[in-house]
A and B are shown apart, each in its own frame.
Chain A
């Protein structure tokens, strides 16, 4: 009887292909690439002819065409300030983000597992949570000694609340049967925490990280624009966009925008990758 059930599940045949072959036959990849090319083409046509297919649309021609953006980008890439902006924004994002993880995950877990801790710390947390991170900018500029620190602090806030809420929610919704099963197999309180609550919360930790990373990028750019980018030259991608706008270099503004898009994509890919590696049971389908 058991064999009958087994063989029904054992019919998948493994076809061996090289990684490159697999990549090139991936329809999702080709569809995505086609979409990007079509989008860029439409943009180019729209900017050149102030409309599409003979139909003029008054606002279409205002944006620089991708060909101009590309030329600007090629010259911008040769300036060290551009790369310094990348480095500055990335280090600010990751500094704020990592500190938010280091404080937020234990804090969320403590809220989830300890009633007294939750009774005391949840109300102030809930009052601070709706305050937008950018509303903290003036206060943090006064409070922190350097601009760098105040940007990092605002970035930290952006990720912190999202991370805590996700960890708390994830830990509180773990099925009680896992805890009961572990308990009857002899698990101590500490075992329950490390072997059930921690792995059970992992998916929510990574959801929180992915959302938090997005917010961190939004916040860091706004903070850089407001604070004037700090003392260093370059000043971050947010400042790069702001100063380009002030100087009237619209192509450079678009270069900055696309750079942020790429930076955000790289950051969330990194989180997805780490999530996949640390949660092999979620990679099954």
Chain B
């Protein structure tokens, strides 16, 4: 990217380590508890892009909420650089599944929302930084547009910009490209991987697509079915900078096969669990609530 502002990429970003130790979380009342996450252990290495892949409904979003501090584990702990998570904070920024840009604010005002609120960047300095970040994500001309005036891909980039300006220690992406059409999805993946390779900001990326995971990741963490725990960690040794041709290499194919096999097993388990008809109706009524 041509307009690189040195202030945007804070080198400290790439030194964040996140540890999850024996994290458990279940929902429901005393009589009917459902364990969603059980004994979850994972270390997110500094400067790495860790991708979580798991069957749908396996508790990936619950995990995101726990790390972001919107929810708390019943047992176990989550440490960011050795300090336990006590609630939401701007050291961890989440890019949500569906866009969470405030529809009543323009792209620019969405981006300056955080710094303005905390008052840690002001006036001309804030304006310069916000403009630089918007330029970086290719929205320089669109800064005064409202989110609804932007395409799906642009909305995601605006949201990335809004997260980046807060200089988080950890970036959390919760299926950020879901719902985009295939073309913009590919463009966004490429854009995102470039951004990461430039800053090496510690990153946790959640997805249900294996190819996306392999293309982006330093490490792919395959999750088990509910209750969720780490099933397998696959180190992706594809060279950086990444490009899409690498996905057709033998290596990538091997990674894909390995991940597919495990995911298939896990998906089968969940199918058997919910195969019973009464369970199915129960699951459906829960979803309808």
Contacts and interface: CB of A to CB of B under 8 A. Distances in A.
Contacts of B187: 1, 4-5
Contacts of B102: 178, 181-182, 196, 199
Nearest to B94: A184
Contacts of B157: 2
Interface stretch (A44-52, A99-107, A185-193, A224-232): A185-193
B114 A185 contact: yes
B100 A186 contact: no
A181 B100 contact: yes
Interface residues of A, number: 29
B227 interface: no
Contacts of A6: 138, 141-142
Interface string B112-154: 0110011000000000000000000110011000111101011
Interface string B151-186: 101100100001000100000000000000000100
Nearest to B149: A284
Contacts of B141: 6, 10
B96 A191 contact: no
Contacts of B162: 181
B153 A186 contact: no
A174 B103 CA distance: 11
B106 to A, nearest CB: 8
A200 B104 contact: yes
Nearest to A188: B117
A3 interface: yes
Contact of A185 (B69, B117, B148, B184): B117
Given A5-B151, A181-B94, A191-B117, A186 B138 contact: no
Contacts of A187: 117
Contacts of A16: none
A281 interface: yes
Contacts of A202: 104
A153 to B, nearest CB: 35
Contact of A180 (B90, B94, B114, B142): B94
Interface in A163-207: 175, 177-178, 180-187, 191, 195-196, 199-200, 202
B117 A5 contact: no
Q: How large is the interface on B (under 10, 10 to 19, 20 to 34, 35 or more residues)?
A: 35 or more
B118 A186 contact: yes
A225 B151 CA distance: 54
A279 B104 contact: yes
A19 interface: no
B104 A281 contact: yes
B191 A2 contact: yes
Contacts of B90: 184-186
Interface centre among B88, B94, B104 (most CB of A within 10 A): B104
A264 B113 CA distance: 40
Contacts of A4: 187
B68 interface: yes
Contacts of A195: 113, 117
Interface centre among A5, A182, A202, A280 (most CB of B within 10 A): A5
B191 A180 contact: no
Contacts of A175: 100
A185 B114 CA distance: 5
Contacts of B88: 180, 183-184
B138 A184 contact: no
Contacts of B137: 2
Contacts of A196: 102
Nearest to B150: A9
B70 interface: yes
B60 to A, nearest CB: 16
B98 interface: yes
B39 interface: no
B197 interface: no
A184 B69 contact: yes
Given A2-B137, A6-B141, A186-B114, A177 B100 contact: yes
B93 interface: yes
Contacts of A199: 102, 104
Interface of A: 1-6, 9-10, 175, 177-178, 180-187, 191, 195-196, 199-200, 202, 279-281, 284
Given A5-B151, A178-B102, A183-B88, 4 more contacts: A5-B138, A5-B184, A181-B100, A191-B117
Interface of B: 68-70, 88-90, 92-94, 96, 98, 100, 102-105, 113-114, 117-118, 137-138, 141-142, 146-149, 151, 153-154, 157, 162, 166, 184, 187, 190-191
